[in-house]
Each structure stands twice: as C-alpha cells, then as structure tokens.
Structure 1
Amino acid sequence: MKSRLTALERREMSAEQQRVLDAILSGPRGNLDGPFLAWIHSPELADRAQALGAFCRYHTRMPLRLSELAILVTAAWWQSQAEWQIHEPIARDAGVGEAVIEALRLGQEPEFHDETDRLVYRIGRSLYETRRVDGALYAQARDQFGESALVELIGIYGYYALVAMTLNVFEVRRETTERLPFAEQD
C-alpha cells in the first residue's frame, strides 16, 4: 500500500511506533494495510484504534456477513477506495451477493432478499444521511439484534467511518493495476 504520508522504515521509527507496529503485525491482521499505514505516524492513535478495530472486525455479536455489509455501506458512502478494495472480497466470501455489492458501489439502494440485510443498510444510510436513527427504525433494529449487538453495529459504522476518512485524506491506496471502485474527485 502507498499513501501521501512519508514512508516510515522500522529503523526510523520511535520505540513507541515499533511497539505498536509489532502489536499490529502479531495480531489478527498481520499487516500494516489500510489506515494503519497512516495511524502509525501517531502511535497512540494507532494503538487505540487497532484495539477498537480488532473488536469491531472480529469480536462483535454481528455475523460476519452483516458486519461486512455495514463496512461496504460505509466505504461506498465515503467512496473510500482502499476500504472497498480490502472489504469487498471479504463481504463476497461472507455471503453478501454480487447485486448488492454492485448497487452499493454505484450508490444505489440494493434490492435485498434478506430483511436483516435491509435493516443493516437502512441503519447505515440513516446515520450517514440524517446523522440519526428515528424511533421506528431504532425499535425495529433493537428488536432484531438486541441492544448490545445494536450498540456494536453502530460502533462498526463509526469505526469504519474513521477508517474511510483516514484512507481518503492520506490517499492510502493498494498498489494494483485494477480499476478503482469509485471515480476519483479532483
């Protein structure tokens, strides 16, 4: 991956940066891809964000398919190239359908065959469009997921919005010849 930030070599890193790098590399991710390429410039942020990210990605009550759907909703909303490139194949493998993936990429409302998927989508769109979730949608989500899982779903949306902003601002990109999922803005 590359970014507009100065590349850091291990020998140039502070002891704190090296400690955080080692923690990230020895964790479930095993690499410095995505926002960590930027966050390592602020080891305290990287340390805290990687712990939150590990929880949001690997340990919530949400099934992987629903978590990855929420991540794609976020990546599409923010038009985050690297976030989409990283999570689109994971979402596909977790069972998010091709038609849903393509509709999200195009900024269209997907045609869902599963009402739980539609609910995850509606929550994300409500958050991004109105910065709120109205009472009826909240009650439906609470009844479907339970309060603890709903709190975690909102955490997934919040964490991956932070990821998307980081990737966009610092132009973190995968080094690939594949076409970018979203048109670049000048």
Structure 2
Amino acid sequence: MSGPRVPEAAEEGPTAELLRVRRGGQLSALDRLLLHSPPVAEGWNALLGALRGATTLSADLRELVVLRVAVLNDADFEWVSHEPIARRAGLAESQLEVLRRPGAAAEPVWTPVQAAVLAFTDASTRDVAVPDGVFAGVRAHLDDRQVVELAVLVGGYAMVSRFLVALQVPPPSGEVPG
C-alpha cells in the first residue's frame, strides 16, 4: 500500500489548528484527510478528544476497546497508533497477543471487567446488537455514565477504523499523539 485513496488536504486554517492543539502540535495522516471537510474534522476532533481524554473509563479499558475494534475491522493504523498507549495503560504482552484471537474475551488473561468490556466490544462491533447477557456483564462493573461512554467508545472507534480502512490509510511509524 503506497498511500491513501484520497490525497491529504492542506494543513492550514483554523480547523487544522484545532486538530494540532489536541495532537500536541502535529497532524496525523488521518487528520490531513479529514481536513478536506472542516466541519467533519471539527466534530471528529471534539468527539475523539472527549473519548480519549474526558471519559471515566480507565485507560486499560479504553485501549482494550480501541485495539479490539482495530483487530475486528482490520485497521492496522489504529493498532499501530494505540499499541504503545495500551502498554502504558498496563496491558501486558500476553494480553496484546490474545486481543488478536477470535474469542479473546474468554481467555483467562483478563480481569472480570476487562472480559465483560471485550465481550461488549465484540458484540457491538460484529453484530451491532448487544445480547442481554453481554450487557448484564458490563452492568455488573460499570455505572450509567461508563456504560454510555463504553457504547460511544466502541462506536467511535468503529467509525475511525472504517474511515481508515475505506481510504486505505497506511499505518504510521508509531503512536499518533492524542
């Protein structure tokens, strides 16, 4: 794969500056594609900024979701960008390996809340509908706000992966900042 299906947009203007602020001064290839539509880029920036930095979900749960969605949707960009973040959030090498397998939630490497969140992520990503038993597993560990944040996190990163895969955005050389 040489490059994305759409050329990157110019990096100037107020929307580019908004994205730079969230990213710590640098734009990713994903950002430069989004800049073709400033209103979409601004909405994306606000949503993903909230998902990455303003939820009450723990960092390990957030990164479990992001990486599992990346696996399920074949989004290499997403995996490469978030694997270092997941490691800093406390995920072990053995857990990262298990995330790439079918039925990852059933493996014995997870805490009960991690297993419940993975089962929710799998159901929501694969089938959209989340069975009552899977939802009950999440409810046993998360409060109302966290359940809402989890559902939006899964959907938000499904959106990210679908965008990246559809436009064939190649993986970066490493982590993409915030």
User: Is the pair's TM-score, using the shorter chain for normalization, greater than 0.5?
Assistant: yes
Q: Is the 8 A contact 2:77 2:169 kept in 1?
A: yes
The unaligned stretches of length 5 or more in structure 1 are 179-186
Q: Distance in 2 between matches of 1:97 and 1:116?
A: 16
Q: Distance in 2 between matches of 1:104 and 1:34?
A: 25
Residue 80 of structure 1: CA displacement? 0.2
Question: Is the aligned partner of 1:160 residue 2:157?
Answer: yes
Q: Distance in 1 between matches of 2:151 and 2:120?
A: 8
Question: Is the aligned partner of 1:132 residue 2:129?
Answer: yes
Q: Give TM-score scaled by structure 1 length.
A: 0.83
Question: Is the aligned partner of 1:113 residue 2:110?
Answer: yes
**Number of residues paired by the alignment?**
171
Question: Over aligned residues, Cα RMSD in angstroms?
Answer: 2.1
Q: Is the 8 A contact 1:28 1:54 kept in 2?
A: no
62, 71, 75: which one pairs with 1:80?
Answer: 75
SS at match of 2:110: coil
Cα displacement string for residues 73-121 of structure 1 (whole angstroms, at most 9, x for unaligned residues): 1000001011000001111111112112112224452432311110110
Give 1:128's aligned amino acid: T
Q: 1:45 to 1:105 in 2, by over 3 A?
A: same
Q: 1:138 to 1:65 in 2, by over 3 A?
A: same
Q: Is the 8 A contact 2:138 2:147 kept in 1?
A: yes
Percent identity of equivalent pairs: 25
Greater shift, 86-95 or 125-134, is seen at: 125-134
SS at match of 1:150: helix
Q: Give TM-score scaled by structure 2 length.
A: 0.86
SS at match of 2:141: helix
Residue 126 of structure 1: CA displacement? 1.2
Residue 129 of structure 1: CA displacement? 2.7
Residue 45 of structure 1: CA displacement? 0.5
Runs of 4+ more than 4 Å apart: none
Question: Is the aligned partner of 1:30 residue 2:25?
Answer: yes
Residue 34 of structure 1: CA displacement? 5.2
The unaligned stretches of length 5 or more in structure 2 are none
Cα displacement string for residues 15-35 of structure 1 (whole angstroms, at most 9, x for unaligned residues): xxx111001102255322253
Residue 163 of structure 1: CA displacement? 0.5
